Structure 1
Amino acid sequence: MTDKVLEQVEALGERLAATAADSEALGRLSDDSVALIREAGVMRLLQPADFGGYAAHPRVFAETVMAVAQRCGSTGWVCGVGGVHPWEMALMDRRLQQEVWGEDPDTWIASPYAAQGVATPVDGGYRLRGRWGFSSGTDHCDWIFLGATLGDADGRPAEPRTTLHVVLPRADYEIVEDTWDVIGLCGTGSKDILVEDAFVPVYRTVDAQAMSEGSQAAVAGRDETLYRLPFWAMFPLGITAAVIGIAEGALAVHLAYQRDRTTMTGVRITEDPYTLSAISEAAAEIAASRTQLLDGIERLYDLADAGTTITFADRAVTRRNQIRCAWRAVAAVDDIFARSGGNAVRRSNPVQRFWRDAHTGLQHAIHTPGLVYHATALTTMGIEPQPRQRIMI
């Protein structure tokens, strides 16, 4: 069934591409785009089978996100981010899963995970306050994951810092309109979220560290290999898959445009060895990015499937390579754009939208190389990284 989701996306490809301009103009996914994603079943790929999902191999999920992003970067981005949320929901309390999916297995869940709120303990749960940015696809979601710092009795972040992922229904938070005015990924509608004072029962929360280490599956009673993977392998996978898909989309429209193009000096592009060489190099870099991203998640999956502990070193190398995949792919898009001539900047030429979307996707914190690169280099030398260097690994 999971391969059929990818096949369905490919079959709907032209229709998905046709929604891109509308989504960009609206500043959120168009209703047509959402309907096509629901029809294909993309958001249910990582959803557990007992709640109507497909519990697919994460490689299939990444390939499907790429296929969507090739047609519309914003739709691919929302699938890459939002498509991971059912995976985490599978690791939450079964009562919460029933609340979210019991009546409608097609319910979508938003985020973000940045700890931009404070959860103060009270009887039975927490009081949550905060404001979060970058909630991709949020207009189409009925629940949301939010990152929060555990608070003290006065509502201030407690020391040492503990981070929770908390889940709220749509009635408990506000989507702040007019907070997504950007140059790329415009159609993702990644607006701000405001929570004034919401009660969150304990069963709608999870410790972020347990999720990061991949130990939450045992707590949740999930023995499927998929759910024994660490959070910082799964969440980046969807985001980087979207960026690589965008790069593949840029290459496809570039090739279609260059096929019949003649330069102002009268040289046909198909006879220009310099441009053809640049196209091939860019295509090879994008292909390498795809291969390395998929190889990384397959390696971790195989370790989990064999019952082998996934170490910090395993996670670090996968994260390092995942970040490099994104930077390599976007650099290739730059090479493509530089060879597309003056007409590339016209709104009517989709290559400029893919170029803007690729760079905007690279801005996500998950693609910041510094600490991850440092931690991975130290780990491969046999040196234990400091706690602050282990963030998001």
Structure 2
Amino acid sequence: MNAGASTLSDLAVKDAVARVEAVADELEAGADESEKLGKLSDRSVSAIKSAGLMRLLQPKEHGGDEAHPAEFGEAVMAAASHCGASGWVAGVVGVHPWEIALMDPRVGEEVWGENQDTWVSSPYTPQGIADPVDGGYILNGRWQFSSGTDHSDWVFLGAITGDGTGRPAAAPKYLHVILPRTDYEIIQDSWNVIGLEGTGSKDVVVKGAFIPTYRTLVHEDVQSGAAAERTGRTETLYRLPFNVLFPLGISSAVIGIAEGALGLHLAYQRKRSNAGGVQIKSDPYSMFAISEAAAEIAASRSNLLDGVTKAYAHVEAGTPVSAVQTAEVRRNQIQSAWRAVRAVDEIFARSGGNAGRRDNPLQRFWRDAHMGLQHFIHVPGQVFHATALLEMGLELPENLRGAV
């Protein structure tokens, strides 16, 4: 066993949610400190590692579970229902082991050879230029929103290939590149926000780092499955399209936050009376709003998990996930997040003025839910447009081809 291999329980993977619930008190206790620190507290990080959240999609040869993605989504929801920041980081960072499995085997050894609990942050937005040189690329750029970066020893970044002078190539490729902590700088004062403060989603800067070719992937190869085929991966998990799997963790966190908000609202309303002295439980309008919100959040959960479950089943049966199917998964993933946050608004608006007090965690869940909706993965416009065209059997125009 590697020196860094942890002593995770031998619970079956199907008990991933149970592992999260076993550390629920620690996640809740660390939430306030994480928000004050502007990054996950050590207590929160320890709880996440204890639950094995980051290893769910990690390959087995590196101590991972290779879990069904729906189980990953459910575990992220569970974590987010106790601490939005913890669930968010688990949802974002927890996807990266999936992509490492698609890379040259040397990358997995570099990342996990000494410690199988090593975290890898991101973002994938192509905000850097990778100029080709002998054996790889020279990378420069600045990226925003690297969630969990203070606790990560590597980072995935998006880049476009350059012309050798620091400018985009005439026909650039979109790359995913992975770098060790020594090759980038974290900008510590770059995460000052109103929600998800504890995620520590700070900027990272790269100045002239050399990236060997084996630490890069072409985005289209990840999306199409070519990367999995080239690496010899036959497991169903690693043959899913990127646009099916990557958004799952992010939207799962938002829905989990909504579930946490609902739970707090129910507990708060149980004994609360309104300004007229009437107990809320006797107010049919408030009870209606609670049930409506609960149904919307439950529908969001089902819609999200149904999409990735069907995609997994198609791949497992040897049938590639079509462009239409991928688009529909993306559309429903976006809608599920919006639906859940709208439901949070309905219950928060009926929680009274005390819900806005800093010592009431409901206000943090409300803020975190809205900040989660701001992620570009939840922007509906182009995805909805492209999905409708594909369902009509029409070709996508050039500006929509990368949307789904």
TM-score range, shorter chain: over 0.9
1:372–1:390 Cα contact (<8 Å) kept: no
Equivalent in 239, 244, 250 of residue 239 of structure 1: 250
Cα distance, 1:12 vs. partner?
1.5
1:220-239 maps to which residues of 2 (within 5 A)? 220-239=231-250
1:293 CA displacement: 0.3
C-alpha contact (below 8 Å) 2:386/2:403 kept by paired residues = no
Distance 1:65 1:214 in 2: 25
Contact 1:184–1:357, Cα closer than 8 Å, also in 2: yes
1:59-101 alpha-carbon deviations (Å, 9 max, x no partner): 0000000000000000000000000000001101001111111
Partner of 2:110: 99
CA contact (8 A) 2:125 2:158 kept: yes
Which residue does 1:261 correspond to in 2? 272
Per-residue deviation, 1:2: 1.3
Query: Displacement, 1:166?
Result: 0.4
For the Cα contact (< 8 Å) 1:333–1:355, is it kept in 2? yes
Measured in 1, the distance between the counterparts of 2:83 and 2:42 equals 14
Alpha-carbon distance in 2 for matches of 1:384, 1:275: 47
Give identity over the alignment, percent: 61
CA separation in 1, counterparts of 2:102 and 2:401?
23
Does residue 360 of structure 2 align to residue 349 of structure 1? Answer: yes
Matched, 1:186 2:197: yes
Unaligned 5+ runs, structure 1:
none
2:251 is aligned with what amino acid?
Answer: T
After superposition, where does 1:11-90 map in structure 2 within 5 Å? 11-90=22-101
Equivalent runs, 1:150-229 vs 2, <5 Å? 150-229=161-240
Tell me if structure 2 keeps the 8 A contact 1:150–1:157: yes
Unaligned ranges ≥5, structure 2: 1-11
Report the Cα offset of residue 5 of structure 1. 2.7
TM-score, structure 1 normalization: 0.99
| 2:323 equivalent among 304, 312, 315 | 312
- Structure 1 residue 347 displacement after superposition: 0.6
> C-alpha root-mean-square deviation of aligned residues, in Å?
0.7
Structure 1 segments (4+ residues) deviating >6 Å = none
Conserved in 2, the CA contact under 8 Å of 1:131 and 1:192?
yes
Tell me the secondary structure at the aligned position of residue 184 of structure 1.
coil
Instruction: Give the Cα separation in 1 of the matches to 2:72 and 2:214.
Output: 28
Tell me, what secondary structure is at the counterpart of 1:4? helix
Question: What amino acid does structure 1 have at the position aligned with 2:340?
Answer: A
Report if aligned partners of 2:94, 2:249 keep a CA contact under 8 Å in 1: yes
Does 28-37 or 209-218 show the bigger shift?
209-218
Which residue, out of 119, 123, 128, partners 2:134? 123
Aligned to 2:9: none
Q: Is the 8 A contact 2:16 2:71 kept in 1?
A: no
**Separation of aligned partners in 1, 2:100 and 2:398:** 27
Counterpart of 1:300? 311
Aligned partner letter, 2:255:
I
* Contact in 2 for aligned 1:232/1:392 (Cα 8 Å): no
